[in-house]
Structure 1
Amino acid sequence: MGWKDAAARAALIAAFVGGASYMAAWPLHLDHPVMTAWKGSGVALLAVYAALRARSLDGWLIALVMALGAAGDVLLEVIGLTRGALAFLAGHLVAIGLYVKNRRPGLGPTDWLVAAALVVATVATAWALPADRAMAPGIALYATGLSCMAASAWLSRFPRGWVALGAVMFLVSDLLIFARSGPLAGQAWVGIGVWTLYFGGQAMIALGVTRALSEPRPA
């Protein structure tokens, strides 16, 4: 095992420690900068892991996706929802490019139907969720990028049980955030669901893509 492989494994372990322990820190009421750094650490370390595993442009693209996700985690806490969402949206656009570049061969009508249904259902649900209807257009716009990312993951060659499922977990996490400003306002479990689905989804995406890229691509 070379030093890069050892460093990548250490970064991955540290990412899981950072991501899993973040919820455990909630009752501690630590200073805001500490909690913000803790929140960003998990996905930032997934970006480090992906960068250390990168052997091609695609490897660097998934590292960039994770880095933009970590930036979104931090920006949400530091300067608010809109700019944090823009960082996530940028990550979705990079991910779409990666997944389209790695489209699954032999896609059939059912595959495309699932992808289209995912986009339509997500955007419609996101539009309907916020109690403040002035937020609905912006949320629907973001949900369009989010759902296209998940649909592109479904249509990609990457293992669906890891990457497409992880993307859908990310999608559901964001829908829970939107629901927290509407029908799920005040529900204590939502925060746990949001973070578990989000970090778990990001980890599954990072692992699924990097492992697939390490294998020879079928002709």
Structure 2
Amino acid sequence: MSQDLAHKRPYLLGSLLAGISFPATWLFLPLDGGLIAMFWKMAAVGFLVPFALRRHHKGEFVALAIMLAFYALGDGLIELSMVAGALAFAAGHLVAIFIYFRHRRVKPVFSQKLLAVTILLATPVIAYSLPPTRDEGIQVAAYSIILAAMAAMAWSSNFPRYRVGLGAILFVISDLLILAELGPLAESEVTGLAIWYLYYFGVLMIAVGIAQTLVKRGHFAGGEERD
């Protein structure tokens, strides 16, 4: 099976290997990890960029690749500056919102709309409450508005909810855990592992879900709703 995956989807395999193994760098690399750990981390989502472009090089496939590239850049920049990393992730979220808007669900049911609104409203409130100071709370709440809009739009899109929508929710949970490390979970020894795997598998679910759906639909622009 792994040989088949390596032959048909080598970039996806590369992403899985880098993503699953990245936490091992915390054990055998120096405390800071250095450039090796940073590029290892970036490779996990970075390999998904050529995965998105392997067969198609236009329309939403390019937008998907740009979104993933911003996320991979954010993975690296956040090791150097929390602000720079947040800006890169915010740019990726804006591209994601563009994709989801073009593929929005025409007639969402009440429960879908309710969850989307809950994500949109609750995420900034929770984010604001996690850092130890009010100034930090305002800063992270401002970022989390874009994060929440991305996740709400993903859940409201006509992409598969239990791949793309759920992946976006995992992304939100991961980011909230990062903020919790500034306050209530500052002493936790396992939070970092949860943050990484929730984030990585969330992005993986989003990337694969969007790419497979676009291929299945056979078009490159937003349009009619299909499940």
TM-score range, shorter chain: over 0.9
Residue equivalent to 1:35: 37
Which amino acid is the alignment partner of residue 44 of structure 2?
G
2:217, 2:178 → 1: CA distance? Answer: 38
Residue equivalent to 2:18: 18
Residue equivalent to 1:174: 175
Residue equivalent to 1:98: 99
Contact 1:7/1:52 (CA < 8 Å) preserved in 2?
Answer: no
Residue by residue over 1:84-116, the C-alpha shift from the partner in whole angstroms, topping out at 9 and shown as x without a partner, is 100000000000010010011222333222211
- State the SS of the aligned residue for 2:183: coil
Q: Does 1:62 align with 2:55?
A: no
Which amino acid is the alignment partner of residue 18 of structure 2?
G
Residue equivalent to 2:49: 47
2:113, 2:172 → 1: CA distance? Answer: 18
Contact 1:8/1:53 (CA < 8 Å) preserved in 2?
Answer: no
- State the SS of the aligned residue for 2:188: coil
Choose 128-137 or 201-210, whichever is displaced more.
Answer: 128-137
Which amino acid is the alignment partner of residue 14 of structure 1?
G
Q: Does 1:187 align with 2:188?
A: yes
Cα offset for 1:24? Answer: 1.4
Residue by residue over 1:97-146, the C-alpha shift from the partner in whole angstroms, topping out at 9 and shown as x without a partner, is 10010011222333222211111111110010001221111100110000
Normalization by structure 2: what TM-score?
A: 0.90
Which amino acid is the alignment partner of residue 89 of structure 2?
F
Residue equivalent to 1:150: 151
- State the SS of the aligned residue for 1:96: helix
More helix by share: 1
Cα offset for 1:51? Answer: 1.7
Q: How many equivalent residue pairs? A: 214
Contact 1:89/1:146 (CA < 8 Å) preserved in 2?
Answer: yes
2:126, 2:154 → 1: CA distance? Answer: 20
Contact 2:130/2:183 (CA < 8 Å) preserved in 1?
Answer: yes
Do the aligned partners of residues 53 and 137 (structure 1) sit closer, same or farther apart at CA in structure 2, a change above 3 Å counting? Answer: farther
Segments of 5+ residues of structure 2 without an aligned counterpart are 219-223
Residue equivalent to 1:89: 90
Instruction: Provide the aligned C-alpha RMSD in A.
Output: 1.7
Residue by residue over 1:63-102, the C-alpha shift from the partner in whole angstroms, topping out at 9 and shown as x without a partner, is 1111000000011113x00011000000000000100100
Contact 1:162/1:208 (CA < 8 Å) preserved in 2?
Answer: yes
Which amino acid is the alignment partner of residue 52 of structure 1?
R
1:48, 1:172 → 2: CA distance? Answer: 26
Identity %: 37
Do the aligned partners of residues 133 and 69 (structure 1) sit closer, same or farther apart at CA in structure 2, a change above 3 Å counting? Answer: same
1:6, 1:182 → 2: CA distance? Answer: 42
Residue by residue over 1:147-169, the C-alpha shift from the partner in whole angstroms, topping out at 9 and shown as x without a partner, is 10000001111101100000000
Residue equivalent to 2:75: 73
1:7, 1:47 → 2: CA distance? Answer: 17
